[in-house]
Amino acid sequence: MSHFDGITLAFSHKDRVWRTRYSFTPTAYGYVDNFMLSSNGRHPASTNDSPTTSNGFWRHDTNALHNRFYDFQYDMGVSFVANYNPSSVKIFKSLSAESNSNSWTGFVSTNSNPSGGATNNEYQTSQLSSFIRKEGASYVDIKGSTTNSTSNVSAGFNAEGGVGFNLVGSSAEEIGLSPVNPILTWEETIGVQHGQITAGTNCFVVVSSQSGLSYIRGNELVPIDSATPSYQEGYVIVKSLNSDDQTVTLEMIVPSDSVSSYPFSWSSTENFDGSLTSNTVYIDTPSITNGDYMRGRYMNVYLSNNSTAPVECFAFNVNYEPTRFDHSLGQNA
């Protein structure tokens, strides 16, 4: 039996408006002794051909757990667009929910239309979590964009001889690299330090090669605009900094399909011309912490709540400040 791929809309006869959407999709409704019953055929969330309940029927408005239908617990959700003064370019700072619940999570986006949606370089997204409860309302900071951010990529230091120069001429046996020990660790000598050098499993190495700014992964250079780094996937990280002897230790868990490719092509001179720019090691830190501010003329907000108790919401508020390129009506002659 195939389930019904549809959507359930609720109409208010009193207000004469479509009031809300529901996540469940029944195939039939009926009243029996003033009780509202429905049949779902097959539950949309079911992964097999059998209904999720033994009888396939559900009695509404009697469940102690809210947002539960056909023995499946849903999250409630709300979405809206914050577009006050739409001519003004804004930096979005925080959001508050005037609600009796603090179980909110969600995400926000800006500049999704009209110039190409998620593929254009102005599109931004960020996650909302860890709301803080104050005076009967829930507050959350709007963190940096996890899409199209550049502020989180900063020049760390100049590596003498080029990135990976110390590996040139060394065999896999000499450095102890093998399928049994796929962790490659080496030191870089700091020629010029450009800024603060941060280290850790979220500090990924970015180099300037002939193909532009790129991550190092295994035997390849991956453009930074086409990858989502993960330490376990084999990207190079800044493991530690020794300020006394001015060295930085880099580390990579070499992917299994790249171990036999050592020595790696990115450590050869054909990728780097020996200039100060090509020898610069950039450090990519988490964009949600250090990325670009969420900015635009409007912001899409998508919130969900997994509470099983009744939830009331009186208002949602977005705090922002104008940018230097504010083009509000009346701002310019």
Is residue 332 domain-resident? no
* Residue 248 C-alpha from the chain's centroid: 29
Is residue 3 domain-resident? no
Instruction: Report the pLDDT value the prediction gives residue 204, as an integer from 0 to 100.
Output: 95
What do you get for the CA distance between the two ends of the chain, in Å? Answer: 65
Whole-angstrom Cα distance, residue 125 to residue 288? 9
Tell me phi and psi for residue 216, to 5 degrees. -100, 125
Is residue 2 domain-resident? no
Is residue 331 domain-resident? no
pLDDT tens sequence across 208-232: 877 778 899 988 888 887 788 888 8
Whole-angstrom Cα distance, residue 30 to residue 34? 9
* Residue 10 neighbours by CB under 8 Å, 6+ apart: 18, 19, 20, 21, 22
pLDDT tens sequence across 257-269: 888 888 887 775 5
Structure tokens at 1: 């039996």
Is residue 327 domain-resident? no
Domain span including residue 18: 8-74
The DSSP call for residue 132 is E
Domain count, the chain: 3
Whether residues 58 and 98 fall in one domain: no
Whether residues 228 and 266 fall in one domain: yes
Structure tokens at 304: 């969900």
User: For the whole model, what pTM was predicted?
Assistant: 0.76
Asked if residue 48 has pLDDT above 60, the reply is no
Is residue 328 domain-resident? no
Listed in sequence order, the DSSP H helices in the chain are 172-175, 287-290
Is residue 297 domain-resident? yes
Whether residues 204 and 234 fall in one domain: yes
Per cent of the chain over pLDDT 90 is 43
78 has which bridge partners?
303
Residue 96, amino acid: S
Whole-angstrom Cα distance, residue 234 to residue 262? 14
Whether residues 127 and 168 fall in one domain: no
Instruction: Report the pLDDT value the prediction gives residue 71, as an integer from 0 to 100.
Output: 82
Is residue 92 domain-resident? yes
- Which stretch of 156-170, 182-196, 219-233, 279-293 has the lowest confidence by average pLDDT? 156-170
Whether residues 107 and 201 fall in one domain: no
Q: How far is CA 310 from CA 24, 66, 76, 103, 331, in A?
A: 18, 7, 10, 12, 45
Whether residues 218 and 250 fall in one domain: yes
Residue 41, amino acid: G
Tell me phi and psi for residue 144, to 5 degrees. -65, 155
* Residue 287 C-alpha from the chain's centroid: 9
Whether residues 161 and 259 fall in one domain: yes
For residue 51, say if its preceding peptide bond is cis, omega within 30 degrees of 0. Answer: no
Whether residues 97 and 200 fall in one domain: no
Q: What confidence tier does 330 reach under pLDDT thresholds 50, 70, 90?
A: low
Whether residues 26 and 40 fall in one domain: yes
Whether residues 144 and 162 fall in one domain: no
